[in-house]
Amino acid sequence: MTETATTPLVAEDLLLLLFDPSSGTFRGEGSALFHALAGAVLTELALAGQVQVDDRSVLRGRVVRAVGDPPADPLLRPTWQRLQKRPTDAYALILEIGPTLRAEFIDRLVERGHLRREPRRFLGLIPTTALVAGGTPRRDDLLRAVRPVLVDGVDPDQRTAALAALLSASGALPAMHREIPWSGDVYTRGVALQKGDWGAATAGDAVASTTAAILTNNLFLSLTLPGLRGD
């Protein structure tokens, strides 16, 4: 059992939104999910003022550095410590940390009761485990927050903007059309959020700029090209 922080992380909420209760799977499963979770960890550190992104780009993007004090949450601390030891570009860091995050954040969601592991048998013989919804209102609450931002263009608060930007960057929005109706406008708003356009309340905000530097690298832009949008 891992230590569970009190405040939910952006990556927790992103993973919960990407969970499909009807199938027990995550939308964007595979490398897209790994990249999205890594982007969410970096975004969380940016929200807390614990990373900064250099203005000048290197070959594969801007260099990310650890600043301030280490995060208290044990799921964030390894990434901050990695960056404190050796700053690196966002592209390389996302590829490095992404594959390790899925299991850790699933465990966190199970600990909080948002997901539950249910024993089953494959072909009636082989013991296996399935993920099912835990029955908390958290996922519905998150959908109520991000849906008007993406569908209606409502100005978000900082955290909701980051979450909606990450959903867009994950490339999974077309598959979520029953919960967030998919359209060209939703695509356009999502990409704008990725680029740090978070509305008047956060115009020029350092967190929006940092998040934009993370979410507009080639890993994420390839997921949101028109040919991959599902329309």
What number is the average pLDDT over the span 62-88?
95
Mean pLDDT of 56-76: 86
Express each pLDDT in 176-189 by its tens digit.
999 999 999 999 99
Confidence of residue 60 (pLDDT cuts 50, 70, 90): low
Pairing type for strands 61-66 and 88-89 reads: antiparallel
Share of the chain above pLDDT 90, in %: 66
Q: Predicted confidence band at 228 (pLDDT cuts at 50, 70, 90)? A: very low
Task: Give this prediction's pTM.
Answer: 0.89
| 53 part of a folded domain | yes
pLDDT tens digit sequence for 91-137: 889 999 999 999 999 999 999 999 999 987 776 677 778 899 999 99
pLDDT digits (tens, 9 = 90+) for 127-172: 778 899 999 999 999 999 999 999 999 999 999 999 999 999 999 9
Residue 4 lies in a domain: no
User: Residue 1: its pLDDT value, please?
Assistant: 39
What is the count of structural domains for the chain? 1
Domain containing 204 — which CATH number? 1.10.3630.10
Q: Is residue 48 part of a domain?
A: yes
Cβ partners under 8 Å of residue 176, min gap 6: 17, 27, 167, 182
Query: What pLDDT shows up at residue 227?
Result: 41
Q: How many angstroms separate the Cα of 27 from the Cα of each of 16, 108, 174? A: 10, 18, 10
Domain limits for position 191? 10-120+132-221
Q: Is residue 58 part of a domain?
A: yes
- Is residue 67 domain-resident? yes
| Tokens 């979450």 sit on residue | 163
**Which has the higher per-residue pLDDT, 205 or 142?**
142
Backbone angles phi, psi at 56, to 5 degrees: -85, 135
